[in-house]
Amino acid sequence: MKWFKRFAKKRWIFLSIIVVIILIAGGTIYTKTGSTSTPQYETVAANLGNISQSISISGTIEPVTNLELNFGSNGLVNAVNVQPGQAVKAGQVMATLDTTSIQAQVTQAQATLLSNQAKLALDQAGPSSSVQQSSQAQVTNAQNALAAAKQSLVDTQASNQITLDQAQATINQVQTALGSDQSTLLINEQSFATAEKLVAPATTMTSTAVPVQATATNYDLPTTQGTISSNQSYIVADQSALGNAQSTLNSCGNTPSCSAIAQSWISQDNTAIADASTANAQANKVIGDLEAVQNAQNSLAATQVKITQSIDSANQAITSATTALTNAQDAASIASQPATAAQIDSDQAAIASAQASLSSAQQALSEATILAPVDGIVAEVNISAGKTISTAASTSGDIILEGANSFEVTGQVSDTQISQVQLNQQALVTPAGQTTGLQGKVNQITPMATVTQGVATFPVNVLITQQSSNLYAGASATVEIIVKQATNVLTVPTSSVHSLGSLNFVNVLQSGQSVRKLVTLGASSGIYTEVTSGLQPGDQVIVANRSAALPSASNNFRANRAAGVGGGIAGGGAGAFVGGARARG
């Protein structure tokens, strides 16, 4: 009997310790507020919406002289549509990158997002014959899409081979023609050199041997051009000799021997001149062949680049289709099993991640085009089609635009926020005294910090892209730089979110009780905050306790505890404990 009493006493002590820990941690708390009535909570349903998170800066409106416009993405320049001195209008396309790989990334991100959303829908719906049929249909569709992507790769490879063969055949053809024409030129030059030796009456120039290349292949572009110039000099000298021979014939009178010699000179001089002219004509033909070979080689190089890009795009399509098939098969394999709360949270987190990837890919796609932000005159063009550019290596604007009636605002961003700011991000500029903001975009980020009293800030330039007659140089303005956007995501009022150290939680009304739930947060607009996991659409989130006493010096802690705030880290443990006041039964 004594051992039983000792056991019961130890058990009571153990249970008492557990209860005390729970009460201290803020799990389940009963607070006397002078009234035993049931708490009256103000709630808002967690629902889907759009979030725009921004960083606020301020500065002075200044006129713009030159705008440095740059691509926001790396890649191969596809086209440059402007030239220095050209007038452009706001919104005009000035240059573009090859977007083959970027578009493939967007397509893959869209496919991943759709797949993740479909998986969440399946998990929330629970096992059913219609869900199983739908998931199997998705598997079939994904299999068909993968087969089509693989066949597209085969077709692309076949088409590319034909194009490559044609380009190579063109090179072979022009190289054959070049070899033949070089050989003919060598023969012509040898014939001319022989004839030049017989030119009379001889001069210093005509007595100089004609330079002839050892082999036909030596007649490259510089050598052939030099041959034409040299032959032309001989022709001038030979024509002079021909004139002298003609004069000699005229002075021979009736002397047969003199006339015969002069006639022989005239014939030899004419032969040399004709051979030189023939050689020059052939040399010009060789030059044409050399240019044709160079053009054919350039065409082959361009063809090889396009072939690589098309193969990359086809392989990326296969990768995207393979991912979609894997996701569809995974969804089908678990279609007969009910999803757990953890799985739902995981699905929502996957959707948030896919949305972020899609936003990043779409941002890269939008930054693959340089648009004129305002009307102006093109001052410089520092890029060309076919050039590969890197945003990290850029030291000057890809295109310099002289803006007409354009304005900008430069403000300071703290060192804790500068990593969120990127070129071409959208912004809203509100001049002092005005209530309507104007559209703008981040045009320049200075990488060197300004340190004031130990605080580092970075100058960020925002170009005002929306025309307005209410812009005045020197006026102050506030700027909201949109650094993160999320669409169709789960949102709650920011005021309903509470923090304990690194943990975030909200209080949800369940069966009349306030239940604390840990949440993972995403973007925040200030008024609303994105919840990536921990809640479901429709959950009633507590924003106020209307029955709680107003806080004072004596009851402030008690009122906060009654509302479910400040319940301690343990109170947020997986949303298992009640965080608000509980009415006694």
pLDDT at 585 over 50: no
Window from 25-39, 189-203, 205-219, 361-375 with minimum mean pLDDT = 25-39
Banded pLDDT at 393 (limits 50, 70, 90): low
Banded pLDDT at 569 (limits 50, 70, 90): very low
Quick one: pLDDT at residue 555? 44
Quick one: pLDDT at residue 582? 31
Quick one: pLDDT at residue 135? 80
Long-range contacts of 288-292 (CB under 8 A, 24+ apart): 289/174, 289/177, 289/178, 289/181, 289/182, 290/178, 290/220, 290/221, 290/224, 292/174, 292/177, 292/178
Quick one: pLDDT at residue 567? 39
Quick one: pLDDT at residue 561? 37
Banded pLDDT at 529 (limits 50, 70, 90): very high
Most confident of 272-281, 362-371, 526-535: 272-281
Mean pLDDT, the chain, whole residue set: 83
Of the two residues 248 and 562, the one the predictor is more confident about is: 248
* Number of helices and strands in the chain (H, E): 7, 22
Note the pLDDT tens digit of each residue in 42-80: 999 999 999 888 999 999 988 776 778 888 888 899 999
State mean pLDDT over 362-379.
86
State mean pLDDT over 294-309.
94
Note the pLDDT tens digit of each residue in 484-504: 888 889 999 999 999 988 789
pLDDT at 3 over 70: no
pLDDT at 287 over 90: yes
CA dist 489 and 326 (Å) reads: 25
The model carries a pTM of 0.39
Note the pLDDT tens digit of each residue in 399-447: 888 766 678 899 999 989 999 898 888 899 999 988 888 999 898 898 8
Of the two residues 505 and 31, the one the predictor is more confident about is: 505
State mean pLDDT over 551-567.
42
Note the pLDDT tens digit of each residue in 144-202: 999 999 999 999 999 999 999 999 999 999 999 999 999 999 999 999 999 888 888 88
